[in-house]
């Protein structure tokens, strides 16, 4: 990052006032009567009602539109374990995105916990406050246990976005890329470089969408995760393939798909050249991908390429998913975000990329035209149709799978944030 960009980032976070979020009042507080209703003595009435029926908290408080963004700061972006306080700008940023894209109020919570169990206990004890919990920037393998236990202990949606948000957007783009390449997910040979939280979730979701485990070669720092390896975590063991492939060079030979969730410049031009015709390459390491798009396209004119960066086509960006997934889940008061809801989000995002692109999106990216194809396999983050498409699909999937407590709201399908009630 240039010095000018560094300073601009610091200025953005400092001015006109420090931070990126604030609290605003949602009702009148001007008169003595207002204050008497807002606090004592009037506030006693909703207190009594909620004590009799806890579900009335959704009627009389902000709970139903409030998401907690919670971290222990153990895996901040690509910066590593810098502690909970250092993660606060990232968590505030996530809260900003919830509000901007889905109209959800959100507060960031940074937990200084001495152990995963302490973190779990802290989050579980404050969960009553919120309508949903977004876990963020928690390192593997602890994140798997943290999310699993919190889902069991809480009766509101708990969602680790680094795992499932990445997986949902990746799967949507992957399905479209393979369609363009004339290939089936069920038959594709997939190489996944990386075996952390995002990689595990991506591969698990692709399997749920139709990929075959025996066609997936996952690699960690020691190479291919195969059935002969010992001391594998349960998450890695699920992808331990019966194979004699041991290195990336072995696995990439003839592969249809490369998914990179690892580090910069780890896929060489020579390795890309060994892939099958019309290879699909998702090089998602940020800010520097496993292979630069310029190098990939210079090496293969048939490659379909995606990265995690906004300055190249086909950005795998979690903001395409998580705001709208929570919106849909919370609007039908789902008790969890299950596999059916994730799959519904995948399909909604994938299908939206096939529809004509609105002029406002073209204007935002200074483009004359954009249509479904190798340079456009997933929607742009500024596409306002995501709100209605994804939230509606997720809400309906929650109802169909039996985790919703409310029917589809009358104001669905959503078209803009102004539809939110």
Entry pTM: 0.95
Please list, residue by residue across 87-115, b when 16 or more beta carbons sit within 10 angstroms of its beta carbon and e when fewer do: bbbbbbbbbbbbbebbbbbbbbbbbebee
Active site annotation includes 63:
no
Amino acid 309: pLDDT: 92
- Rounded to the nearest 5°, which phi and psi values hold at 264? -70, 145
Catalytic residue among 39, 100, 222, 354: 39
| 137-156 pLDDT tens trace | 999 999 999 999 999 999 99
Amino acid 421: pLDDT: 60
Contact present, 88 and 108 (Cβ < 8 Å): yes
Amino acid 12: pLDDT: 94
- Mean pLDDT computed over every residue of the chain: 96
Catalytic residue among 20, 63, 88, 94: 94
Rounded CA-CA distance 368/98 in Å is: 29
Amino acid 231: pLDDT: 87
Amino acid 415: pLDDT: 86
Active site annotation includes 365:
no
Contact present, 147 and 163 (Cβ < 8 Å): yes
Give the pLDDT of the chain (421 residues) as one tens digit per residue. Answer: 789 999 999 999 999 999 999 999 999 999 999 999 999 999 999 999 999 999 999 999 999 999 999 999 999 987 899 999 999 999 999 999 999 999 999 999 999 999 999 999 999 999 999 999 999 999 999 999 999 999 999 999 999 999 999 999 999 999 999 999 999 999 999 999 999 999 999 999 999 999 999 999 999 999 999 999 998 999 999 999 999 999 999 999 999 999 999 999 999 999 999 999 999 999 999 889 999 999 999 999 999 999 999 889 999 999 999 999 999 999 999 999 999 999 999 999 999 999 999 999 999 999 999 999 999 999 999 999 999 999 999 999 999 999 999 999 999 999 877 677 6
């Amino acid at each position: 990052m240039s010095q000018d960009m560094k300073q601009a980032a610091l200025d953005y976070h400092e001015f006109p006032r420090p931070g990126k979020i604030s609290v605003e009042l949602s009702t009148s507080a001007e008169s003595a009567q207002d204050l008497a209703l807002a606090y004592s003595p009037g506030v006693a009435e909703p207190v009594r009602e909620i004590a009799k029926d806890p579900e009335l908290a959704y009627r009389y408080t902000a709970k139903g539109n409030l998401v907690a963004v919670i971290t222990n700061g153990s895996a901040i972006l690509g910066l590593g374990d810098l502690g909970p306080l250092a993660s606060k700008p990232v968590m505030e940023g996530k809260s900003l995105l919830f509000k901007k894209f889905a109209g959800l109020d959100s507060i960031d919570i940074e937990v200084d916990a001495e152990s995963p169990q302490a973190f779990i206990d802290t989050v579980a004890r404050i969960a009553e406050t919120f309508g949903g919990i977004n876990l963020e920037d928690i390192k593997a393998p602890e994140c798997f246990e943290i999310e699993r236990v919190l889902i069991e202990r809480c009766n509101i949606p708990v969602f680790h976005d680094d795992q499932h948000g990445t997986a949902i957007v990746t799967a949507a783009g992957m399905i479209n890329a393979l369609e363009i390449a004339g290939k089936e997910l069920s038959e594709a040979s997939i190489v996944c470089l990386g075996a952390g939280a995002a990689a595990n979730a991506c591969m698990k979701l692709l399997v749920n969408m139709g990929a075959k485990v025996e066609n997936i070669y996952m690699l960690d720092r020691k190479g291919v995760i195969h059935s002969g390896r010992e001391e594998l975590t349960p998450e890695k063991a699920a992808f331990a393939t019966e194979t004699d492939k041991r290195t990336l060079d072995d696995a990439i030979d003839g592969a249809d798909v490369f998914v990179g969730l690892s580090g910069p410049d780890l896929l060489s031009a020579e390795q890309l050249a060994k892939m099958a015709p019309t290879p699909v390459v998702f090089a998602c390491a940020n800010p520097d991908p496993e292979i630069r798009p310029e190098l990939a396209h210079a090496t293969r004119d048939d490659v379909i390429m995606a990265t995690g960066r906004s300055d190249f086509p086909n950005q795998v960006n979690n903001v395409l998913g998580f705001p709208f997934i929570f919106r849909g889940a919370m609007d039908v008061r789902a008790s969890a975000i299950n596999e059916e809801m994730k799959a519904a989000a995948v399909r909604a995002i994938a299908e939206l990329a096939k529809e004509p692109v609105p002029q406002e999106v073209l204007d935002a990216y200074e483009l004359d035209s954009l249509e479904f194809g190798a340079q456009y396999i997933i929607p742009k983050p500024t596409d306002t149709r995501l709100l209605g498409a994804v939230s509606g699909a997720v809400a309906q999937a929650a109802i169909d799978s039996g985790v919703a407590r409310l029917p589809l709201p009358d104001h669905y399908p959503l078209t803009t944030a102004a539809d939110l009630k």
